[in-house]
Amino acid sequence: MDYLCIIPHIPVDDKVQARETLEQGGGPAATAICAVARLGAKTSFISAVGDDFRGQAILKALAKEGVDSSNVKLRLGAESPVAFCWIQENTGKRSIAWSHGSIKPLLPEEVNVAVIRDAALLHLDGHHTDAAIHAAKIARDAGTTVSLDAGSMVPRIDELVALADLVIASEKFSERFTGDTDPVVAVKKLFTKNTKFAVVTLGDKGCIGFDGKQLYRQAALAVDVVDTTGAGDVFHGAFACQYVRGCNWQGCMRFASAVSALKCTKLGCRTGIPTRAETENFLQEHK
């Protein structure tokens, strides 16, 4: 659950008046799956939440987007994950403090095998890592595409990178994971024997992709930025959605960039996520 506010500047040992506030569901994979649902695909979410008021709000938000949450485990007496986000007015840049809460991580045996085998694509964000690795192995055996949001340097993340067909990493993660600050070199290092496509997202500098032979570049699409929170998460969901529809690599990158850009025009991870029709109209205007 995200608690967001727009402020003139990030205060240090000081107070500042918020221009706007919002409470909204967040989280990398959850926001990505909401983007996919809004773009018209059938979705299901596998995770765990507490039975507190935040957990109920998280599940209600997923249901509102049409996401199946029947595979989300409810942890009794546990506190659900939370993030406090400060967004700087005029730039849209943000600072975030977050907590896992007190929920027990999802166990491998709690993963619904059938839903993964039936899926076209499994998207992971590195959280609930043991269960995620188990799910990725099930997916690979079943021929289900594995997509990874490589954003956090959690233990065993190298195993997830090795299991993923699609690896989309933030610039900071790619630097830390590969040890190289050049995104061209880093994206090539992220490409392993199981990888079909690797991407490094570069914020307002766009993104760069690699298919094992060719480099692909995509510029960021210009919008009036209000809040960049969740832009990467939305990019991952939109990219996965287009990939499942059979789009080529450049097309996936461009479509995901458009969805991500439109998200940034409103406060919150999910408020500005566009529909497919809205995205296609935006792309027509930005040929």
Return d(Cα 113, Cα 70) in angstroms, integer. Answer: 13
pLDDT at 92: 83
Q: Span 141-162, mean pLDDT?
A: 95
**Cα dist. 242→14, 217, 232, 250, 253 in Å?**
45, 17, 15, 11, 9
Residues 89/222, Cβ–Cβ less than 8 Å = no
Summarised one tens digit per residue, pLDDT across range 38-54 is 999 999 999 999 999 99
pLDDT tens sequence across 50-95: 999 999 999 999 999 999 999 999 999 999 999 999 999 988 888 9
Mapped onto helix, strand or coil, the DSSP state of residue 124 is: strand
* pTM over cut 0.75: yes
- What would the pLDDT profile of 16-36 be if each residue is shown by its tens digit? 999 999 999 999 999 999 999
Per-residue model confidence (pLDDT) at position 90? 86
Percentage of the chain modeled with pLDDT above 90: 94
E strand or H helix that includes residue 82: strand 82-88
pLDDT at 114: 97
pLDDT in tens, 224-283: 999 999 999 999 999 999 999 999 999 999 999 999 999 999 999 999 999 999 999 999
Question: Which of the listed CATH numbers 3.40.50.720, 3.10.20.310, 3.40.1190.20, 3.60.20.10 matches domain 28-79+104-285?
Answer: 3.40.1190.20
pLDDT of residue 17: 96
